Amino acid sequence: MRLFHHLTLFLLLVSCAPRGELTLFAGAGQTGDLQRIYVGTTREIDEMGFPSGNRSRNLIFGRFDVSVPPEREPGSINWPYSAKPDPAQHFLLDNFSPIATSEAFNSALRQELRSRRSESRTAIVFVHGFNNNFSEGLYRFAQLTEDLGLPFLPVHYSWPSAGHPLGYGYDRDSMLIARDGLETTLRSVSEAGVDEILLVGHSMGALLAMETMRQMAIADGQKGLRKIGGVVLISPDIDIDVFRQQANRIGKLPEPFYIFSSTRDIALRLSAGLTGQTARLGNTTDVEQLAELNVTMVDISAFSDGKIDHATALASPSFLRLLRKVPDLGAAYGADPSARIGLIPGTVLVVQNATRLIVPNLAQ
């Protein structure tokens, strides 16, 4: 009955919430901060020329210039629901350009990289999660890139989520169909000449990231993964046994490898209940189940408000400040306790190869 209550509440809330859509506003970037995002997608193109929730047999590429408004709180996405969009307040699409082939996509990335040096030659590939339409995944990535001040080359892989709270089965099948497209995108980004790739997956997108790395490892061992210099899974909607099997088949996991989890994630609690379990990878506290894996589980329960929204942490200014310190987490919780001074406070638990960090929200 408790699961049924949460499920009913979830459906009521999400059915009432307005959904974001792309609004093209040429010149919006003159007011807002422009985030140029390269996209690979297996979504079908709609009559407006934008990716839809339908599945395509083809992998489609493009470049989307998103204007991030200056008048907003960190973590927030302001949609232009009114008839008069305002570049000072709303996320808007300044421009977009379809890219016809993977070769042209590769060429565009190479051209972008020519003017970049050192860490800005790292690509960050973001894979959105369950119940996201195209604009929601794109704008969330633009928001994260802006708020974190990321100097990396942003590439968004958008798989054909139905963008509907009752579409879990459809989304899961779409995610599986999209594995080949993500593999092609990762290989294309790698071949474009980036120094390394940071792969970030949220929710069901984390499952897609793991499945894709697994099939790449099966295809050519560690060769195809050599450019992946780090993995971040945020609220991963993955069965823990499945994750262990995926990791074992991949072999040596990219380092660093972070798993951000929250025991207060109600969406993952529902997902676990629907499969007859008590927890998913993204809301477990049992690091012993990952003991043989070289991973770092970061417990961000303190950053969640316990609401239904599965993306709460991504919109939390405190969590965003923590994400900025991801490169320092290894030092903050290293073998030498003195290395933690002035870095990230919290509790650390080491079980064999795995590490669990419980990070307090000091802003509360």
Write the pLDDT tens digit of every residue in 45-91. Answer: 999 899 999 999 999 999 999 999 999 998 999 999 877 999 999 99
Which helix or strand (DSSP H or E) is residue 267 part of?
Answer: helix 266-274
DSSP helix/strand/coil, 48: coil
| pLDDT at residue number 13 | 39
pLDDT (average), residues 212-217: 98
Closest CA to 37 of 117, 177, 134: 134
Tell me the backbone φ, ψ of residue 83, rounded to 5 degrees: -80, -10
- Tell me what the pLDDT averaged over the chain comes to: 85
Write the pLDDT tens digit of every residue in 155-179. Answer: 999 999 999 888 999 999 999 999 9
- Report which DSSP code applies to 34: E
Closest CA to 81 of 13, 150, 19: 19
Write the pLDDT tens digit of every residue in 114-130. Answer: 988 876 899 999 999 99
Write the pLDDT tens digit of every residue in 316-364. Answer: 777 777 777 665 555 544 444 444 434 455 677 778 888 888 877 655 5
